[in-house]
Structure 1
Amino acid sequence: MWRVDQVFLARRGMRVEVTCSLVNDQGGLRNLSITAPTDDPTQAVRHAARFIAGKGNVSGARQARVRWTREQATTAQDALIRDRALEDEFLDEFEETLAAVRDQQR
């Protein structure tokens, strides 16, 4: 099973691209990208959380860090700053969708 480790946001015109970095217990790493149909970062992370949790092979997103990509940061320090409000939005939506998927599988 995979889990979400980090979430990166990047503006692409009028949309927000969300890249989720997934890791597993064997040390595997893979990235899933989705372009949200909105320019609102909150709606974009919620959209991405529904997409990732709906895959069915991702077990969790606890402690997933959300941050903007380097080209979106104005200084090097900005690239290190986590967006905790968006982290909460992502985790809430992920957990809700994952619970719904698990209920359907029963």
Structure 2
Amino acid sequence: MARRTPRPAPAPIRATSMWRVDQVFLARRGMRVEVTCSLVNDQGGLRNLSITAPTDDPTQAVRHAARFIAGKGNVSGARQARVRWTREQATTEQDALIRDRALEDDFLDEFEETLAAVRDQQR
């Protein structure tokens, strides 16, 4: 009977791992906007957080999501985060590739303000 060689255990997920926002996807859900943030960490981990904003205005929705994500405490940044609408919201394949730079600026501004407030409270 052949013996199996023990495989190394996978690296545990660190609870203290710092995440950063990589992409933000928007989708209309009735009279609200669902915002899904794709987060990555320094070890290549990927995590998605979704929140449905209590509004149908995309600007207010990304600001709402930025406050939620930055308030988590272990998300360190959102620089170069891309904001785009999900595929089902796009009318053509090209629309799915278009980034909404104005919403990116709104998301980053609100994220940085909330993150600064969280850091001030921790001092």
Task: Map 1:62-101; keep pairs closer than 5 Å.
Answer: 62-101=79-118
Q: Secondary structure at the match of 1:55?
A: coil
d(CA) in 2 for partners of 1:12, 1:63: 26
d(CA) in 2 for partners of 1:71, 1:104: 40
d(CA) in 2 for partners of 1:36, 1:78: 23
Report deviation, 1:85: 0.1
Report deviation, 1:34: 0.1
d(CA) in 2 for partners of 1:26, 1:39: 35
The C-alpha deviation readout for 1:10-69, integer Å capped at 9, x for no partner, is 000000000000000100000000000000000000000000000000000000000000
d(CA) in 1 for partners of 2:120, 2:34: 29
Superposed structure 1 runs of 4+ greater than 4 Å apart: none
CA RMSD of aligned residues (A): 0.2
Larger Rg: 2
| Greater fraction strand | 1
d(CA) in 1 for partners of 2:91, 2:105: 23
Alignment size in residue pairs: 106
Q: Which has the higher contact order (CA 8 A, sep 6+)?
A: 1
Q: Percent identity?
A: 98
> TM-score, normalising length from structure 2?
0.86
